[in-house]
Amino acid sequence: MSEFWKGKRVLVTGAGGFIASHLVEELVQLGAETRAFVRYNSRNDTGLLAVLSESVKENIEVYSGDLRDGSAVRNACQGQDIVFHLGALIAIPYSYQHPMEVVETNVLGTMNILMAAKDLEIPRLVHTSSSEVYGSALRVPIDESHPLQGQSPYSASKIGADKLAESFYLSYDLPVVTLRPFNTYGPRQSDRAVIPTIIGQALTQEVVRLGNLSARRDLTYVSDTVAGFLLAGQTTGIEGQTINLGTGTDISIGELVEKIIKIVGKDISVEIDPSRIRPAKSEVNRLLSDHSLATRQMRWRPEVSLDEGLQKTVAWVASNLGMYNPERYTI
């Protein structure tokens, strides 16, 4: 894999985010000429790129802008061999409060990426979907033909973005591949997500407060997800396809809490916090992936077990508690 990436000019959007920062780090280490698109702010805050080693950061070209600005997106895409589009507003509770901003960023932002990739004839675009587009499983395991259900403004925005990507392949033969990760977790993830929320509370408090404990999720460690992105960027003959990245196993949030409490090694109780429960018709009750297409087409398989991944994530959060606010419900 490493030889393919040496000297490749690669753009990563949403580069300051959780998965994207790991992808940027890996691309630099593989020898790619890596450009990181981050959302502009006056503090020059590059998000999680700031926690990378100095040797990695000095090999990243940071490009600040907004996905909703077509000219900024086009300039960032100029001269690139491969574009990884991970930029999005991803918090489901936030999408309840600000659906317009979520749609503008996720749908219009993706349209800008697609237009730039088409006009600039980018050889490969990897677009990021989400398992949330499936909604509550109608059948399991969920393969790529499962119906799409917009159970939150966030999931609806991702469905719209995915369909735009599909249309650009069918209409313009754009060489786009859509990856659909299932609940990625690991070091650097914010406490907006359930696993860092549980870990942060378990490390600092006597009570863990959560929402729906019966919901089931397919949890994929971040290094496995990044490996899927790299394979999607280099594998030939998969243009136009949508490909799941998941482990093919699921666990309830209640069972997950028990695992994390055992790793932390404290006597901790669990309470239901009504403010953390999604509207009933919006709650996604079960996500369980069928990743056989990824295995057939890209020879991708998850390698990190849930127990191993949780051990690594607990250790990272424990060493970086200053990045978390366990007493507050973060949306």
Rounded mean pLDDT, 149-158:
98
Measure the CA angle with vertex 323, ends 321 and 203; round to 5°.
Answer: 25
Per-residue confidence band for 327, with pLDDT thresholds at 50, 70 and 90: confident
pLDDT tens digits, one per residue of 93-107:
999 999 999 999 999
- Architecture of the domain made up of 2-190+219-249+287-304: 3-Layer(aba) Sandwich (3.40)
C-alpha to C-alpha distance for 256 and 293, rounded to whole angstroms? 27
302 vs 131, 215, 219, 246, 289, CA distance in Å?
A: 16, 22, 10, 7, 12
Q: Band of the pLDDT at 276, cuts 50, 70, 90?
A: very high
Mean pLDDT of 167-171: 98
Domain boundary assignment for the chain: 2-190+219-249+287-304
Q: Whole-number mean pLDDT of the chain?
A: 96
Tell me: cis bond preceding 196? Omega within 30 of 0 counts.
Answer: no
Predicted confidence at residue 331, as pLDDT, reads 82
Across the strands, what pairs with 243?
179
The whole-angstrom separation of Cα 71 and Cα 77 is 10
Mean pLDDT within 73-78: 98
Average pLDDT over residues 280-289: 94
Percentage of the chain modeled with pLDDT above 70:
100
Per-position b or e across 2-25, b if 16+ CB within 10 A of its CB: eeebeebebbbbbbbbbbbbbbbb
Residues in contact with 325: Cβ distance below 8 Å, sequence separation at least 6, in sequence order: 191, 200
pTM of the predicted structure, to 2 decimals: 0.96
| DSSP E strand stretches across 109-197 | 124-128, 176-181, 184-185
pLDDT tens figures, 261-270: 999 999 999 9
Q: Mean pLDDT, to the nearest integer, of 111-128? A: 98
- Residue 191 neighbours by CB distance under 10 Å: 20
pLDDT at site 1: 54
* Tokens, residue 109: 């932002």
